[in-house]
């Protein structure tokens, strides 16, 4: 029997509201008896119809949708045995191009001029009368700031930090909430608290505030349909009241929150909200993000009294907030909660690593039993301390907050330390998918650093259904690309002007995200559309790279990109030189390698898109850069000036050496690694590639020795000292669990939740398990494990656009035994350890060979 196993619109199985005139539908089939799809018909309730064969996605290209309308999408399919199946999903259009009846409102009396902090929280309120029987009721809302809506005393929706983080000057999302169940006949109490969030609050380590507006503003419509056929819109306007005396006394993404539970919305003083003149004119679209929600509730495992405070340990570094269920308290009783990732030697929380972020909650109790969940902040922590209430009077859990992205991949092998490494990679992923891909969730950053996701996107796409989340971020990447072609180091740039003096300068490896992230989506999901859409942006970026490379040199030096090191990150956080300036000094190597990689990748993308002339142009450019790197920096495969791991890894990874030079370069790299006791010596640029370069070129043993090394700095050193997430620095923690003092000139730049070095995940899945993409979206894939270390078995799986690939292998009784489930419409090329090759098609396969 054939069935439709998954059917999504815009990446969602349900509750999709969209303003996209061309939404994307994705689906795949499964069949119990391995029948295959013969043909299918996709229909929409507006009459749109499309005949399909074995496609697994479709971009709607039919007539314009109507606003505020529910559509039904049906896929009906027939297999080659004549069996039929069908599935229907629903989605709704948002406002499309219809204008807002709601007006932007604010507290006109609030002059917020303080620097470095977030504004007071505005509380908007309106009593709404419902006199007729309600058929449908929806709130459409957005804000400059972040908001929480309460209707009749209960939170509307389950998402946090809406409207989400976008490049507000360009793009702003609104949300749609079905409130039919919450709205009642008679008088309703609508309360909206709006905090500063990213748009108005203090953000970025410089703590700039008011980046997008001088104060918060709210835009809302409550749209009601009655059973008698009439309709009503209650818009945000001057009939709303506003107050600065609500229970949220303070709220800031970095600093935390102060909530006074004694405050009664009926007893504070209000004045009339005023209309706000908006300086920004962003495109306001129905939410296309993945909501930040409570992914799981985490219990604590240990409570200890430390210097008059109660210290709780969740035994897992996570991003989110705590939830307090206070069993008994007196009005005015103050509870203070601090958060940290690691402890100091005396058992106190290490708060220094948070830098200026206070990460503190202050909760002022009312009488009796009560619950508290912070709303306008989140933290990265494993430990908290609580003051002001003893453990017997409060139940404490942590809410793990993360963008709602389905976890679609799994990995488990016979080496428990590698399994923990994989778990750490997953945790750091979820902890940093907070509406945008961030660098870390704890200190005063949490920014959309482009370099981090650029190297992590392939690993992320193996484990998670990343397309909706990354596509949303890419909207801002496109909006924020500079005219010069360069990309800000953080997207949204958000008042962070770096490089301040040279805003037009392209930055190697970080800017590369404009190519690498769309390409990762193309590879993992077969998303040709994203490649097409980003192609002009990619060309502009490579042009900018070339411009900056060309500007200060003649001859071959025109392809050596050596703009002043200060403006690049170079071999960022490489543990072999413990100085930021030394990482940056290596930028001529990393930047030149970046130009090679980007021009080479762009040539490949041009070939996919059939842009023959471009392809030839970028191939030529990448050849010139290759020649420059090799002849300027190396001689006979040896680095002339400074030998360092990344200096060899990048030209090897990007195919720059030939013949004997390549052999020599590999030997030189291996010699460096051996001298370094198989410890890692690469920064962000080299880390994703080092194991591949070794394992794919005959040095599998060296790759495994590095990967399985537990001496610092290494991936498994982290695991050996109890790490539960990936760290910014491989040796950031001492064996006693405290932080290694940082002397590298970055101040306290030591995060224990940074996914970038977790890019090694790609090696676990594609080399240890051996699952490799051959054609985009796994239409064709290969299984070719690289055996080594002490690994005797692996089980892994990932969800492809065609269905789930389950793969496991084990070494048993002198045999190598492999099991794979090949999805419908895909083919799999297996290369067994004895060199034997097989091509497999749809179905479950078990094969074996002698070891």
The footprint of ligand BGC (CB under 6 A) covers 439-440, 445, 449, 451-452, 569, 572, 749, 754
Residue with tokens 């498994």: 716
What's the token pair of residue 684?
Answer: 């962000």
What's the token pair of residue 729?
Answer: 């620095």
CB of 451 to ligand BGC, least distance (A): 4
Give the CA diameter of the chain.
Answer: 85
CB of 783 to ligand BGC, least distance (A): 33
CB of 572 to ligand BGC, least distance (A): 5
Beta carbons of 803 and 823 less than 8 angstroms apart:
yes
Closest CA to 46 of 70, 79, 22, 18: 70
DSSP string, 373-425: ---S--EEEEEEEEESS-GGGEEEEEEEEEE---B--EEEES-HHHHHHHHHH
Q: Give the number of other CB atoms < 10 A from CB of residue 815.
A: 12
Helix axes 645-653, 659-675, angle to 10 degrees: 150
CB of 756 to ligand BGC, least distance (A): 6
Identity of the residue, 593 or 805, whose beta carbon is nearer to ligand BGC in the bound complex? 593
Identity of the residue, 9 or 440, whose beta carbon is nearer to ligand BGC in the bound complex? 440
Q: Give the number of other CB atoms < 10 A from CB of residue 153.
A: 9
Phi–psi pair at 257, nearest 5 degrees: -145, 150
Which helix (H) or strand (E) segment holds residue 362: the answer is: strand 360-364
Identity of the residue, 596 or 754, whose beta carbon is nearer to ligand BGC in the bound complex? 754
Identity of the residue, 572 or 699, whose beta carbon is nearer to ligand BGC in the bound complex? 572
CB of 551 to ligand BGC, least distance (A): 23
- Dihedral over alpha carbons 178, 179, 182, 185 (to 10 degrees): -140
SS3 content of the chain, % helix, strand, coil (to 5): 25, 35, 45
CA distance 589 to 620: 20
Q: Which of 341, 434, 445, 523 is catalytic?
A: 445
CA distance 805 to 91: 28
CA distance 816 to 833: 8
Neighbouring C-alpha atoms within 13 Å toward the C-beta of 329: 26
CB of 590 to ligand BGC, least distance (A): 12
Identity of the residue, 4 or 749, whose beta carbon is nearer to ligand BGC in the bound complex? 749
Judge if the upstream peptide bond of residue 713 is cis by omega within 30 degrees of 0: yes
Identity of the residue, 445 or 576, whose beta carbon is nearer to ligand BGC in the bound complex? 445
Identity of the residue, 572 or 802, whose beta carbon is nearer to ligand BGC in the bound complex? 572
Residues 6+ apart with CB under 8 A from 675: none
Q: Which of 221, 375, 434, 728 is catalytic?
A: 728
Identity of the residue, 452 or 527, whose beta carbon is nearer to ligand BGC in the bound complex? 452
DSSP string, 746-784: SSS---S---GGGGGHHHIIIIIS-EEEEEGGGTEEEE-
Active site residue 445: yes
CB of 256 to ligand BGC, least distance (A): 20
In eight-state DSSP terms, residue 729 is S
CB of 692 to ligand BGC, least distance (A): 21
Closest CA to 690 of 664, 715, 726: 715
What's the token pair of residue 542?
Answer: 């490579």
Identity of the residue, 754 or 767, whose beta carbon is nearer to ligand BGC in the bound complex? 754
CB of 379 to ligand BGC, least distance (A): 16
Beta carbons of 592 and 601 less than 8 angstroms apart:
no
Active site residue 728: yes
Identity of the residue, 567 or 572, whose beta carbon is nearer to ligand BGC in the bound complex? 572
Q: How far is CA 609 from CA 102, 532, 535, 539, 614, in A?
A: 44, 7, 9, 13, 10
Beta carbons of 840 and 825 less than 8 angstroms apart:
no
Identity of the residue, 433 or 781, whose beta carbon is nearer to ligand BGC in the bound complex? 433
CB of 787 to ligand BGC, least distance (A): 34
CA distance 796 to 413: 8
Strands 256-260 and 360-364: parallel
CB of 523 to ligand BGC, least distance (A): 23
The catalytic site residues sit at 445, 728
């Amino acid at each position: 029997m054939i069935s439709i196993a998954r059917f999504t619109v815009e990446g969602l199985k349900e509750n999709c509201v969209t303003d996209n005139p061309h939404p994307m539908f994705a689906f795949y089939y499964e069949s119990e008896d391995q029948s295959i799809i013969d043909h299918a018909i996709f229909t929409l309730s507006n009459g749109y119809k499309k005949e399909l064969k074995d496609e697994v996605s479709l971009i709607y290209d039919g007539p314009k949708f109507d606003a505020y309308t529910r559509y039904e999408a049906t896929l009906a399919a027939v297999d080659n045995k004549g069996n039929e199946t069908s599935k229907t999903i629903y989605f709704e259009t948002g406002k499309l191009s219809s204008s807002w009846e709601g007006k932007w409102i604010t507290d006109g009396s609030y002059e917020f001029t303080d620097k470095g902090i977030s504004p007071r929280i505005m509380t908007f309120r309106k009593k709404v009368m419902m006199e007729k029987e309600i058929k449908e009721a929806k709130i459409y809302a957005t804000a400059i700031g972040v908001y929480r809506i309460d209707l009749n005393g209960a939170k509307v929706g389950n998402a946090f930090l809406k409207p989400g983080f976008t490049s507000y000057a360009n793009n702003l999302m609104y949300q749609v909430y079905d409130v039919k169940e919450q709205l009642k006949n008679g008088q309703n109490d609508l309360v909206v608290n709006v905090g500063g969030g990213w748009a108005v609050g203090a953000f970025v380590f410089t703590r700039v505030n008011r980046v997008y507006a001088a104060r918060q503003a709210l835009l809302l419509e409550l749209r009601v349909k009655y059973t008698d056929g009439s309709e009503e819109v209650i818009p945000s306007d001057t009939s709303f009241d506003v107050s600065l005396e609500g229970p949220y006394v303070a709220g800031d993404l970095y600093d935390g929150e102060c909530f006074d539970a004694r405050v009664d919305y009926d007893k504070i003083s209000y004045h009339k909200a005023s209309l706000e003149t908006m300086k920004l004119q962003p495109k306001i679209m129905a939410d296309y993000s993945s909501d930040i929600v409570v992914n799981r509730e985490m219990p604590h495992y240990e409570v200890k009294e430390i210097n008059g405070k109660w210290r709780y340990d969740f035994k897992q570094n996570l991003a989110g907030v705590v939830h307090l269920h206070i069993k008994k308290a007196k009005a005015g009783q103050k509870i203070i909660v601090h958060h940290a990732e690691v402890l100091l030697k005396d058992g106190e929380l290490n708060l220094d690593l948070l830098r200026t972020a206070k990460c503190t909650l202050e909760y002022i109790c009312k009488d009796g039993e009560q619950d508290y969940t912070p709303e306008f902040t989140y933290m990265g922590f494993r430990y908290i301390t609580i003051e002001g209430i003893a453990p017997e009077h409060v139940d404490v859990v942590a809410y793990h907050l993360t963008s709602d992205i389905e976890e679609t991949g799994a990995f488990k092998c016979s080496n428990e330390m590698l399994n923990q490494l994989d778990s750490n990679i997953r945790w750091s992923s979820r902890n940093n998918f907070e509406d945008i891909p961030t660098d870390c969730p704890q200190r005063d950053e949490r920014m959309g650093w482009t370099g981090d996701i650029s190297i992590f996107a392939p690993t992320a796409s193996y484990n998670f259904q990343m397309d909706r989340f990354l596509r949303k971020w890419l909207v801002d990447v496109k909006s924020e690309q500079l005219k010069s072609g360069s990309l800000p180091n953080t997207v949204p740039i958000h008042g962070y002007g770096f490089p301040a003096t040279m805003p037009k300068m392209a930055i190697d490896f970080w800017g590369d995200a404009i190519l690498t992230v769309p390409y990762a989506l193309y590879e993992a999901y077969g998303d040709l559309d994203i490649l097409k859409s980003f192609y002009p942006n990619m060309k502009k970026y490579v042009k900018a790279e070339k411009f900056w490379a060309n500007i200060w040199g003649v001859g071959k030096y025109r392809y050596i990109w050596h703009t002043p090191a200060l403006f690049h990150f170079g071999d960022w956080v490489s543990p072999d030189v413990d100085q930021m300036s030394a990482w940056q000094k290596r930028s001529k190597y990393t930047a030149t390698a970046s130009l090679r990689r980007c021009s080479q990748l762009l040539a490949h993308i041009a070939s996919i898109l059939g842009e023959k002339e471009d392809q030839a142009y970028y191939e030529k450019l990448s050849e010139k850069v290759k020649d420059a790197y090799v002849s300027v920096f190396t001689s006979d495969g040896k680095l002339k000036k400074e030998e360092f791991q990344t200096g060899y890894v990048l030209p090897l990874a990007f195919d720059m050496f030939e013949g004997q030079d390549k052999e020599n370069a590999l030997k030189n790299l291996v010699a460096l690694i051996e001298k370094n006791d198989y410890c890692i010596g690469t920064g962000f640029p080299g880390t994703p590639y080092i194991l591949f370069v070794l394992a794919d070129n005959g040095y599998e043993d060296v790759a495994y020795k590095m990967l399985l090394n537990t001496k610092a700095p290494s991936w498994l050193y982290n695991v050996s000292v109890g790490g539960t997430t990936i760290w910014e620095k491989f040796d950031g923690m001492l064996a006693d669990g405290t932080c290694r003092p940082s002397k590298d000139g970055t101040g306290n730049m030591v995060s224990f939740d940074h996914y970038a070095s977790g890019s090694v995940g790609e090696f676990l899945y594609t080399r240890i398990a051996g699952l490799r993409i051959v054609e985009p979206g796994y239409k064709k894939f290969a299984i070719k494990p690289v055996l080594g270390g002490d690994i005797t078995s692996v089980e892994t799986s990932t969800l492809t656009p065609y269905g789930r690939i389950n793969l496991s292998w084990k070494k048993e009784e002198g045999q190598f035994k492999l099991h794979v489930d090949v999805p419908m419409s895909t083919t799999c090329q297996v290369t067994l350890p004895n060199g034997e090759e097989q091509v497999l098609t749809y179905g479950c396969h078990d094969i074996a060979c002698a070891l």
